[in-house]
């Protein structure tokens, strides 16, 4: 017997129409170098429909790729909807990729037009001659100094965003097929060229609903959401879509991601949800001292492990610990969140802090398993047995866009291989041990670089710490800690090792502690161990 319910396609116009019809008076605030700009969802919706008209006028193909090279702004949100709602495919370009990677992804995705913020136009212009399919560059003036009359290659035209909008007419949306591509994002590609992930309308709508689960981020109408996490990478964790769908107000930080800039926005705009990677929150915490943060209700954080010490420092200073989530570009991105079960209510605060340091519970809609890397068998959920984390579900990628590397990343039975090593405990909490390529293999045993880093970063004088497995003649690899000392503090190797004594297994003790000024970061603000390894390629572990 079949169910007798309607076959209603899940498409982005569904989300758009809610903001347009139900919440036209709610606002989107954008912090630009020229000051804060406020528009309502009513104005935004009207502009977005006209932007659909602009894409028609420019002659962008029915499923043409519409690229953005832009900060988090209300205009970027217009593009987030105008491209997919008019049947095209939004392609967010990561501002911080290497130039040759930008060229690769623009050409690989066959972008027809790029919308670029003036503050970053200077990064894009030198690359224009390398693009093979781009016919239009549309500049959004966010106060940047770049001279956009600079020469462009033959066959390419430069336009001003506001001029195009002023001349365009609003359009109706037509998306019938929920399986159609809505947007694409390339992984930040720590090795080799970035790989393209293509989201469908359906996957985006379902992920947007999940962002509103009470046990997810719980995005709701009364929220004022500050997505520090970029719209150009991993969809700002779904918060931009979720805000539109539920009528929450958005506080867009624009180009200024400085601790003071963000702290000011949090205070003055009464932000309730502020989402960003751990390195952002490490910087912002001191800037929040003495400010009114009483509106904040949740600080979603992921992208790399959230050190317990960081979360606890937030709890002590703001009364609000960090809310950890795990995911990746391939998982839309949110797959697990660190909600605390009510059955843990009587646990002491320190034990709850340990739970918050885990990556959390899988969201409804995401299925996860851990496979033993040698036998390929699923490992028990005992909190100890580790292996490769694999995922499947309606917002998990099934392959990469036009990429011969796809088969390496998916199992024969269709699960995504995440490249993360993890455990599950009996309560269902995920714990990320490491990335497969970052675990330290010492004499056939594994040491988790993430756990060691967390322990070192618990030292009050440590600002940042990254642990890398370095070649060792006897043990194959041994952990070496790279440590950044807090400003104005003094710390030496013995001080770090003494602190670790009793906190970790003896044989995990780093063979060396190297003090550096800063841990190199990836394009999205994570510790870049690849760059660290490159910087220290001639390093030799000192003899004991």
Catalytic residue annotation: 187, 330, 441, 446
d(CA 154, CA 173): 33
The least distance separating ligand ADP from the CB of residue 249, rounded to whole angstroms, comes to 26
Of 11, 101, 332, 418, which one interacts with ligand ADP (CB under 6 A)?
A: 418
Asked if 486 and 465 count as a contact pair (C-beta separation under 8 A), the reply is no
Indicate whether 324 belongs to the interface with ligand ADP (CB under 6 A).
yes
Q: Does position 212 bind ligand ADP by CB under 6 A?
A: no
Cβ proximity to ligand ADP, 119 vs 449, nearer residue: 449
> 365, 334 in Cβ contact below 8 A?
no
Among 242, 251, 305, 416, binds ligand ADP (CB under 6 A): 305
Q: Which is nearer to ligand ADP, 144 or 189 (CB)?
A: 189
Contacts of 544 (CB under 8 A, 6+ apart): 511
Q: CB under 8 Å to 530, separation ≥6 — which residues?
A: 190, 191
Is 303 near ligand ADP (CB under 6 A)? yes
**Per CB under 6 A, 208 contacts ligand ADP:** no
Q: What is the nearest approach in angstroms of ligand ADP to the Cβ of residue 124?
A: 20
Question: How many helices (H) and strands (E) would you count in the chain?
Answer: 16, 25
- Contact between 362 and ligand ADP by CB under 6 A: the answer reads no
508 interacts with ligand ADP by CB under 6 A: no
Choice between 196 and 327, CB closer to ligand ADP: 327
Distance CA(64)–CA(104), nearest Å, equals 17
Phi, psi of 30 (to 5 degrees): -125, 130
Smallest gap from Cβ 516 to ligand ADP, in A, equals: 21
Residue 316 tokens, joined: 């002590």
- H-state helical runs in 125-277: 161-167, 201-211, 239-246, 259-268
Contact 393, 367 (CB under 8 A): yes
- Residue 70 in contact with ligand ADP, rule: CB under 6 A: no
Q: Which two tokens stand for residue 461?
A: 């004088």
Regarding 190 and contact with ligand ADP (CB under 6 A), the answer is yes
For the chain, how are helix, strand and coil distributed in percent, rounded to 5?
30, 25, 45
Q: Contact between 329 and ligand ADP (CB under 6 A)?
A: yes
Question: CB 328 → ligand ADP: shortest distance, Å?
Answer: 3
The total of other beta-carbon atoms located within 10 Å of residue 497's CB is 15
Q: Which of 39, 124, 184, 432 binds ligand ADP (CB under 6 A)?
A: 432
Residue 326 as a binder of ligand ADP (CB under 6 A): the answer is: yes
Per-residue contact string for residues 102-141; x = within reach of ligand ADP by CB under 6 A: ----------------------------------------
Could you list the residues that contact ligand ADP (CB under 6 A)?
187-188, 190, 234, 302-305, 324-329, 359, 418-420, 432, 435, 524
């Amino acid at each position: 017997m079949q169910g007798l319910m309607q076959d209603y396609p899940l498409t982005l116009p569904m989300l758009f129409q809610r903001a347009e019809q139900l919440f036209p008076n709610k606002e989107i605030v954008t912090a630009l170098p020229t000051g804060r700009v406020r528009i309502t969802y009513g104005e935004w919706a009207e502009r977005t429909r006209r932007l659909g008209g602009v894409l028609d006028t420019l002659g962008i193909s029915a499923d043409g790729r519409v690229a953005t090279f832009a900060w988090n702004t209300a205009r970027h949100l217009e593009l987030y909807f105008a491209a997919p709602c008019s049947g095209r495919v939004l392609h967010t370009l990561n501002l911080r990729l290497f130039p040759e990677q930008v060229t690769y992804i623009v050409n690989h995705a066959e972008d027809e037009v790029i919308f670029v913020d003036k503050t970053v136009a200077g990064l894009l212009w030198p690359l224009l001659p390398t693009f093979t399919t781009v016919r239009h560059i549309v500049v959004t003036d966010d106060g940047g100094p770049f001279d956009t009359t600079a020469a462009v290659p033959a066959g390419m035209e430069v336009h001003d965003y506001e001029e195009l909008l002023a001349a365009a007419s609003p359009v109706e949306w037509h998306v019938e097929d929920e399986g159609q591509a809505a947007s694409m994002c390339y992984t930040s590609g720590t090795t080799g060229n970035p790989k393209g992930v293509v989201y469908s309308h359906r996957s985006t709508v379902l992920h947007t609903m999940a962002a509103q689960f009470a046990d997810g981020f719980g995005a709701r109408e009364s929220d004022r959401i500050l997505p520090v996490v970029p719209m150009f990478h991993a969809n700002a964790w779904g918060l931009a879509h979720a805000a539109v769908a539920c009528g929450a107000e958005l506080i867009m930080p624009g180009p200024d991601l400085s601790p003071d800039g963000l702290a000011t926005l949090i205070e003055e705009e009464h932000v309730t949800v502020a989402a960003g990677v751990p390195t952002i929150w490490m910087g912002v915490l001191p800037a929040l001292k003495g400010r009114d943060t009483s509106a904040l209700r949740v600080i979603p954080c992921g992208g790399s492990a959230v050190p317990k010490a960081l979360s606890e420092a937030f709890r002590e200073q703001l009364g609000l610990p960090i809310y950890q989530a795990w995911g990746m570009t391939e998982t839309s991105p949110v797959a697990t969140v660190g909600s605390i079960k009510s059955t843990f209510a009587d646990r002491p605060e320190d034990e709850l802090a340990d739970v918050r340091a885990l990556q959390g519970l899988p969201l409804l809609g995401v299925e996860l398993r851990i496979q033993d890397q040698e036998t390929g068998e699923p490992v028990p959920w005992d909190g100890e047995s580790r292996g490769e984390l694999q995922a499947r579900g309606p917002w998990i990628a099934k392959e990469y866009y036009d990429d011969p590397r796809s088969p390496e990343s998916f199992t024969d039975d269709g699960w995504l291989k995440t490249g993360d090593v993890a455990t599950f405990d009996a309560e269902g909490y995920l714990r990320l041990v490491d990335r497969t390529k970052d675990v330290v293999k010492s004499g056939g045993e594994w040491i988790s670089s993430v756990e060691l880093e967390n322990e070192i970063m618990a030292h009050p004088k440590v600002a940042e710490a990254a642990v890398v497995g370095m070649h060792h003649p006897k043990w194959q690899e041994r952990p070496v800690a790279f440590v950044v000392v807090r400003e104005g503090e003094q710390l030496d190797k013995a001080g770090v090792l003494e602190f670790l004594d009793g906190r970790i297994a003896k044989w995990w003790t780093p063979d060396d502690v190297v003090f550096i000024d800063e841990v190199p970061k990836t394009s999205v603000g994570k510790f870049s161990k690849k760059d660290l390894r490159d910087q220290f390629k001639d390093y030799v572990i000192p003899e004991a």
